Amino acid sequence: MVHYKLTYFPTRGLAEVSRQLFQLAGVEFEDERLPKEEFLERKDTYPFKQVPVLSVDGHQIPQSVAIARYLGNKFEPASKMRTILFLSVLALISCCTADSGVLRPCFERYPNHRLVNVMPYHSEWRMRSEDMCLLFCAQSASRCRSIVYDTVQHICHYFSDEGVDQAVISAKMTYLRVVSKSCL
């Protein structure tokens, strides 16, 4: 059986998203909460000399977003992981911990455009910004090739097709195309 140990300070902070992912998946993990003094003693043993760190059978994974992506991908086959609760955790990532600006270079942006004659593989409601769309796309990077964001209804439509030939002018819509899968 795999042994997971999540190390962070005795607060919610950057580790809370990962804790929630463990809870949603129903997977047991060791929740190590370090006092500041103990962290300072052990700091040099962590990648980038920072926490949170997830240890998977002794192998360390640093950085909160990388940990959350790893866990999301690891636990995705569990049917409940694609429920609204999981999507809420992804929204928490985008609102609280992730810098979606890092993802912007991965996409070409076409304001006032949408796709026609192609069906999305998924649509997500209540996405307050394009950035939330980008983060969700990055989480499903194996399928996501393009996005259309409806800026009025706040809906992100995800496509497995790039859609370059299907883009047409459409007010209050933004078409985003993945240009580099390597950065997702």
Quickly state the pLDDT bin for 52 (edges 50, 70, 90).
Answer: very high
Condensed to tens digits (0 to 9), the pLDDT of residues 141-173 reads 668 899 999 999 999 999 998 888 899 999 999
E strand or H helix that includes residue 7 = strand 4-8
Output the six-digit token pair for 57: 């059978």
The mean per-residue pLDDT over the stretch 81-103 comes to 55
Quickly state the pLDDT bin for 101 (edges 50, 70, 90).
Answer: low
Going along the chain from its start, the domains and CATH numbers come out as: 4-97 (3.40.30.10), 100-183 (3.50.4.10)
Q: Judge whether residue 44 has pLDDT over 80.
A: yes
The mean per-residue pLDDT over the stretch 35-47 comes to 92
Condensed to tens digits (0 to 9), the pLDDT of residues 110-144 reads 999 999 999 998 888 888 888 888 887 877 766 88
Q: For the whole model, what pTM was predicted?
A: 0.49
Do residues 30 and 21 make contact, with C-beta atoms less than 8 angstroms apart? no
The mean per-residue pLDDT over the stretch 79-86 comes to 53
Question: Which amino acid does the sequence have at 91?
Answer: A
Q: Judge whether residue 77 has pLDDT over 80.
A: no
Q: Residue 22 and residue 67: Cα distance in Å, rounded?
A: 11
The pLDDT > 90 percentage for the chain reads: 40
Condensed to tens digits (0 to 9), the pLDDT of residues 8-36 reads 998 877 888 889 889 888 899 999 999 98
**For residue 73, which of 23, 141, 147 has the smallest C-alpha distance?**
141
Q: How many CB atoms lie within 10 A of CB 178?
A: 21
Instruction: Give the bridge partners for 31, in sequence order.
Output: 6
Do residues 112 and 171 make contact, with C-beta atoms less than 8 angstroms apart? yes
**For residue 17, which of 85, 82, 76, 84 has the smallest C-alpha distance?**
85
Q: Which sign does the torsion angle of CA 148, 101, 48, 96 carry?
A: negative
Q: Residue 32 and residue 96: Cα distance in Å, rounded?
A: 21
The torsion angles phi and psi of 167, rounded to 5 degrees, stand at -80, 130
pLDDT confidence of residue 38: 93
Q: In 3-state terms, what secondary structure has residue 115? A: strand
